[in-house]
């Protein structure tokens, strides 16, 4: 109830940037969410509609004493998976890869231990069986070494026969997709990003591994002000008590899934001493988790996807490839995610508070960032922030902002906003 009161009384003009009048309600809702927690961090929101930027706004703080500016980017966790998948589809369009060819054709050492027939389609749709990171490495810091991690996956054994089940590759996705892109093209992931996405789309900030010179532009995470520090005596006492399962584990148990699958996919050993926000982690290549983007870069990539894989006369993705990438691969229950994801090739369904987006797809991140497109509405969206939160299904702000974006677009397209 207190949050509802805070939302109602929050400012509607607490943002900087540009917003088309058709999306004024969206900007006001963004402002209210930001004003509710002005000391907790900052955020940015970008929307393209019918090929034009209609929202590019930001608010709050990028650091303890630094206001969020137009150039600020943020670490987006799994939101970056959608961009990596987009790069893979471009490589398919360019003829470097095929969805149903064994990865071993391009990466011979990958054929070991039951992976001889594993394909790009298996990986992009989370059907590879290679979701378990916890039992592949002994310490989370191993993730900082790109070449080492590629070697790890050459030796890895799938937990189930590829194509026979679904299990979200929360961390492993990045090395699997990024690795095959490098092996098939002979170029580094950074080179591929620059040549096939950053330069032709004129993106201002999009990296898996931030160059040292651009680190000052990355918004820093804020500590959760509601988290109470415990004394050493309290810590000792709590350790003696039986460990209580976090809410995420409880949700998974309620759905009838095995919490161990969740842990194996999400939590490498040694994570207590590792942070994706450490400078060395931000500068490493961990594509499933540490993509750093501005909201406008994410929204522009998805604007190209909303236009069917082309942008300003440049065909990034062939029509026949585009038809495949946005098709739901199956409706099997995922072993890791507690809600239906409707996996496409590298993307999941658009999560809303009611609106239907049957042709839409995108990806959210663990911290509640997200980006998506809807080709039917010619609409794309991206939301980034540096709040200290975590959710496997997205922060409530992401869902609400997505809903309001769709409502504003429908007012233009249909003459009414509606809720469904």
Tell me the catalytic residues. Answer: 78
Looking at the chain, the number of H-run helices and the number of E-run strands are 15, 12
- What distance in Å separates the CA atoms of residue 118 and residue 39, rounded to the nearest whole number? 48
Bridge partners of residue 16, in order along the sequence: 58
In the β-sheet with 291-293, what is the strand arrangement from edge to edge? 74-75, 291-293, 206-208
- What distance in Å separates the CA atoms of residue 133 and residue 167, rounded to the nearest whole number? 12
- What distance in Å separates the CA atoms of residue 30 and residue 397, rounded to the nearest whole number? 8
HSE-up of 290 (CA within 13 Å, CB side)? Answer: 23
Token pair belonging to 147: 């070449």
Outline where 189-274 has alpha helix (H).
189-193, 199-201, 232-240, 247-254, 259-266
Token pair belonging to 286: 């961990």
Q: What is the DSSP string of 208-230?
A: ES--GGGGGGBPPPPP-TTPPPP
CB–CB of 313/51 below 8 Å? no
Residue 169, φ and ψ in degrees, nearest 5? -90, 75
CB–CB of 49/56 below 8 Å? no
- What distance in Å separates the CA atoms of residue 318 and residue 360, rounded to the nearest whole number? 18
Token pair belonging to 258: 């095995």
Other residues' Cβ atoms within 10 Å of the Cβ of residue 244: 9
Residues in contact with 317: Cβ distance below 8 Å, sequence separation at least 6, in sequence order: 86, 89, 90, 93, 305, 308, 309, 310, 325
- What distance in Å separates the CA atoms of residue 20 and residue 34, rounded to the nearest whole number? 19
- What distance in Å separates the CA atoms of residue 71 and residue 279, rounded to the nearest whole number? 19
3-class SS of residue 23:
helix
DSSP E strands in 102-243: the ranges are 206-208
- What distance in Å separates the CA atoms of residue 224 and residue 38, rounded to the nearest whole number? 12
């Amino acid at each position: 109830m207190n949050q509802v009161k805070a939302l109602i009384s929050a400012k509607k003009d607490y943002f900087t940037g540009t917003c088309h009048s058709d999306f004024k309600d969206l900007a006001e809702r963004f402002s209210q969410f930001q004003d509710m927690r002005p000391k907790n961090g900052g955020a940015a929101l970008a929307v393209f509609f019918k090929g034009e930027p209609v929202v590019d706004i930001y608010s709050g703080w990028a650091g303890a004493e630094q206001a969020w500016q137009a150039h600020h980017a943020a670490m987006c966790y799994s939101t970056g998976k959608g961009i990596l998948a987009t790069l893979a589809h471009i490589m398919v369009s360019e003829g470097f890869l095929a969805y149903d060819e064994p990865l071993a054709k391009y990466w011979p050492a990958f054929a070991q231990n039951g992976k001889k027939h594993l394909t790009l389609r298996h990986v992009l749709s989370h059907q590879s069986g290679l979701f378990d990171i916890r039992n592949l490495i002994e310490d989370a810091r191993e993730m900082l070494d790109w070449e080492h991690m590629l070697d790890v996956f050459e030796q890895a054994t799938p937990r189930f026969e590829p194509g026979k089940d679904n299990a979200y590759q929360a961390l492993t996705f990045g090395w699997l997709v990024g690795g095959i892109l490098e092996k098939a093209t002979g170029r580094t992931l950074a080179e591929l990003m620059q040549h096939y996405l950053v330069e032709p789309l004129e993106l201002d900030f999009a990296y898996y591994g931030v160059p040292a010179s651009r680190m000052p532009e990355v918004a820093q995470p804020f500590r959760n002000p509601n988290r109470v520090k415990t004394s050493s005596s309290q810590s000792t006492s709590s350790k003696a008590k039986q460990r209580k399962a976090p809410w995420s584990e409880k949700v998974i148990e309620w759905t009838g899934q095995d919490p161990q699958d969740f842990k194996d996919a999400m939590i490498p050993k040694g994570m207590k001493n590792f942070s994706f926000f450490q400078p060395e982690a931000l500068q490493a290549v961990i594509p499933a988790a540490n993509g750093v983007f501005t909201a406008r870069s994410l929204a522009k990539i998805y604007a190209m996807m909303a236009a069917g894989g082309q942008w300003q006369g440049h065909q990034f993705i062939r029509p026949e490839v585009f038809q495949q990438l946005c098709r739901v691969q199956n409706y099997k229950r995922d072993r890791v995610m507690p809600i239906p994801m409707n996996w496409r090739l590298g993307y999941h369904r658009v999560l809303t508070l009611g609106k239907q987006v049957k042709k839409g797809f995108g990806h959210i991140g663990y911290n509640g960032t997200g980006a998506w497109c809807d080709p039917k509405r010619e609409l794309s969206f991206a939301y980034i922030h540096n709040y200290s939160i975590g959710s496997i299904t997205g922060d409530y702000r992401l869902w609400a902002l997505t809903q309001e974006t769709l409502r504003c677009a429908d007012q233009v397209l249909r003459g009414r906003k509606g809720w469904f």
